[in-house]
């Protein structure tokens, strides 16, 4: 059966299809009704938003980019980005947890898991009943993934994993983890492989929870592996291909993060416009002052420039030709634009931008999250320069 998302544009145009518009509206309605009104409370409580997360699963969001044969909806990548954008517009905390589940947290199991993994873990994860995440970063290795120290040593038919992971999204609530480990410590990136590790496996424990500046309702913590024995079938992909297989979804990760940034920037702009009309100084609304109006105009211009890049990068992915330069540019431009807009928003709010009672400070704190995963701005500039032949 053809899904409603099967209309894929073969030529780049700037209009969304009717299906994409309809889908965007349905996510926006859900977010406006159920997410935005509780976003401040979620941030304050700083706990994983389980009820809303499960609801996203029931709505089919986690399976959006997977084919129907895997329990997904077979949507095009632009549709997937629209979902990320709309949820981020309501709560970047929820969007962080959702995007992990939709992409990095489940993709290796989808591509390399056994039928048993798929029926026991992937299918329930796409329905929102189980939670998956990816564990690559370590206390001493972030951007420099090739240096990771977590080891996977063959023992009979099994692998024994030992190491410590850091900054793992949803680890506190996750049922399964895609863990990056070195099968060959001498081989740099080529010595990295991905392993499926399940909650409850002896030797696996969740360490310290990290108190964060932003996206506080997306829980993040350490993950400790002490001689965790996993069966050979839990090696996700042929030996030596973990990093290459990560590379295959890197353009998607960067483009999706760009889409998250669009959503946050939209919330920021909306809030800035509203406040600038409500707040009056020297006898007129601050919106009447060019200094304020131009800040908002600049935010809008940067948002649209970023949107163009995100949609172009998404289109390349849909064509089966992911473009790393474009995806890196999309992430760089969109996340920097969102951070700049959030900064300006707190200035437009004056001292109320400093008050916890208003959303401006949450946008400012949450925006920082966009700068790390999928490559920092410094790393992205390096990649773009290299792709440009610099
Ligand atoms: C909220 C949150 C959630 C996260 N979730 C996960 C997760 O679920 N799983 C996971 O595996 N990881 C996760 N991460 C980790 C994230 O992927 C890393 O933070 C990221 O890779 C950057 O690594 P680092 O923080 O160690 O910074 P470092 O790599 O130590 O970088 C420090 C600084 O040096 C710069 N730098 C480093 N190398 C270079 C270079 N070659 N050229 C120029 N500048 C350079 C960086 O840009 C940065 O400014 C998460 C992080 C955060 C904040």
Residues 61, 118 within the same domain: yes
How many independent structural domains does the chain possess?
A: 3
Residues 231, 257 within the same domain: no
The strand pair at 176-182 and 204-209 is best described as: unpaired
Distance in Å, CA 219 to ligand 1 centroid? 17
Residues 247, 230 within the same domain: no
Distance in Å, CA 284 to ligand 1 centroid? 45
Q: Burial code of 240-274, b = ≥16 C-beta within 10 A, e = fewer?
A: ebbbebbeebbbbbbbbbbbbbbbbbbbbbebbbe
From 46, 135, 30, select the one nearest 366 (Cα to Cα): 46
What is the distance of C-alpha 93 from the center of its chain? 10
Residues 167, 114 within the same domain: no
Q: Is residue 354 situated within a structural domain? A: yes
Distance in Å, CA 220 to ligand 1 centroid? 14
Q: Ligand 1 pocket, 257 CB below 6 A?
A: no
Q: Ligand 1 pocket, 169 CB below 6 A?
A: yes
Distance in Å, CA 315 to ligand 1 centroid? 27
Distance in Å, CA 15 to ligand 1 centroid? 35
Tell me if the pTM is above 0.85. yes
Residues 77, 159 within the same domain: no
Q: Burial code of 335-368, b = ≥16 C-beta within 10 A, e = fewer?
A: bbbbbbbbbbbbebbeeebeeeebbbbbbbbbbb
Q: pLDDT per position in the chain (390 positions), as tens?
A: 445 565 555 667 789 999 999 999 999 999 999 999 999 999 999 999 999 999 999 999 999 999 999 999 999 999 999 999 999 999 999 999 999 999 999 999 999 999 999 999 999 999 999 999 999 999 999 999 999 999 999 999 999 999 999 999 999 999 999 999 999 999 999 999 999 999 999 999 999 999 999 999 999 999 999 999 999 999 999 999 999 999 999 999 999 999 999 999 999 999 999 999 999 999 999 999 999 999 999 999 999 999 999 999 999 999 999 999 999 999 999 999 999 999 999 999 999 999 999 999 999 999 999 999 999 999 999 999 999 999
Residues 110, 217 within the same domain: no
Residues 264, 329 within the same domain: yes
Q: Any idea what the CATH number is for the domain that residue 214 is in?
A: 2.40.110.10
Distance in Å, CA 158 to ligand 1 centroid? 31
Q: What is the residue range of 74's domain?
A: 18-126
Mark which of 63, 92, 126 sits at the end of a domain: 126
Residues 45, 174 within the same domain: no
Instruction: Give the list of residues 6+ apart from residue 370 with CB closer than 8 angstroms, or none.
Output: 92, 257, 260, 261, 264, 334, 335, 338, 339
Residues 115, 49 within the same domain: yes
Q: Any idea what the CATH number is for the domain that residue 293 is in?
A: 1.20.140.10
Q: Which residue's alpha carbon is at the smallest distance from atom 37 of ligand 1? A: 143
Residues 99, 229 within the same domain: no
Q: Ligand 1 pocket, 379 CB below 6 A?
A: yes
Pick the atom of ligand 1 nearest to 143's CA.
29
Distance in Å, CA 34 to ligand 1 centroid? 32
H helix runs in 204-323, sequence order: 242-278, 290-318
Pick the atom of ligand 1 nearest to 210's CA.
1
Distance of alpha carbon 315 from alpha carbon 328, whole angstroms: 14
Mark which of 223, 239, 255 sits at the end of a domain: 239
Q: Ligand 1 pocket, 136 CB below 6 A?
A: yes
Residues 262, 319 within the same domain: yes
Q: Which residue's alpha carbon is at the smallest distance from atom 41 of ligand 1? A: 379
Q: Is residue 260 situated within a structural domain? A: yes
Instruction: Give the list of residues 6+ apart from residue 110 with CB closer than 8 angstroms, or none.
Output: 66, 70, 118, 122
């Amino acid at each position: 059966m053809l899904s409603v998302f099967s209309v894929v544009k073969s030529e780049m145009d700037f209009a969304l299809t009717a299906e994409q518009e309809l889908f965007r509206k349905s996510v926006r309605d859900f977010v406006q009704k159920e997410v935005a009104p509780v976003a401040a409370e979620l941030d304050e409580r700083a706990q994983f938003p389980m009820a809303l997360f499960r609801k996203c699963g029931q709505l089919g969001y986690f399976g959006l980019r997977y084919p129907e044969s895997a329990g997904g909806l077979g949507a095009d990548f632009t549709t997937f980005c629209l979902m990320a954008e709309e949820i981020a517009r309501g709560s970047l905390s929820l969007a962080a947890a959702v995007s992990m589940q939709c992409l990095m947290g489940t993709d290796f199991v989808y591509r390399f898991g056994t039928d048993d993994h798929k029926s026991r873990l992937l299918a329930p994860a796409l329905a929102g009943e189980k939670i998956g995440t990816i564990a690559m970063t370590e206390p001493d290795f972030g951007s420099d993934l090739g240096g990771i120290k977590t080891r996977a040593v063959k023992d009979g038919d099994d692998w024994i994993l030992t190491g410590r992971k850091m900054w793992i999204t949803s680890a506190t609530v996750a049922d399964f983890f895609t863990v990056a480990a070195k099968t060959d410590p001498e081989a740099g990136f080529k010595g990295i492989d991905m392993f499926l590790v399940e909650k409850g496996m002896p030797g696996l424990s969740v360490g310290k929870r990290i108190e964060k500046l932003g996206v506080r309702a997306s829980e993040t913590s350490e993950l400790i592996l002490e001689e965790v024995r996993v069966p050979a079938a839990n090696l996700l992909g042929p030996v030596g291909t973990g990093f290459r297989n990560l590379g295959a979804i890197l353009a998607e990760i960067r483009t999706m993060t760009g889409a998250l940034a669009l959503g946050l920037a939209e919330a920021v702009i909306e809030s800035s416009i509203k406040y600038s009309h409500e707040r009056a100084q020297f006898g007129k609304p601050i919106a009447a002052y060019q200094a304020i109006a131009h800040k908002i105009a600049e935010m809008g211009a940067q948002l649209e420039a970023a949107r163009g890049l995100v949609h172009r990068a998404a289109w390349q992915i849909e064509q089966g030709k992911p473009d790393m330069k474009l995806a890196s540019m999309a992430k760089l431009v969109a996340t920097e634009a969102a951070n700049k807009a959030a900064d300006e928003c707190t200035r437009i709010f004056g001292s109320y931008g400093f008050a916890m009672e208003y959303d401006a400070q949450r946008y400012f704190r949450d925006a920082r999250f966009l700068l790390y995963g999928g490559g920092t701005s410094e790393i992205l500039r390096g990649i773009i320069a290299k792709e440009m032949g610099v």
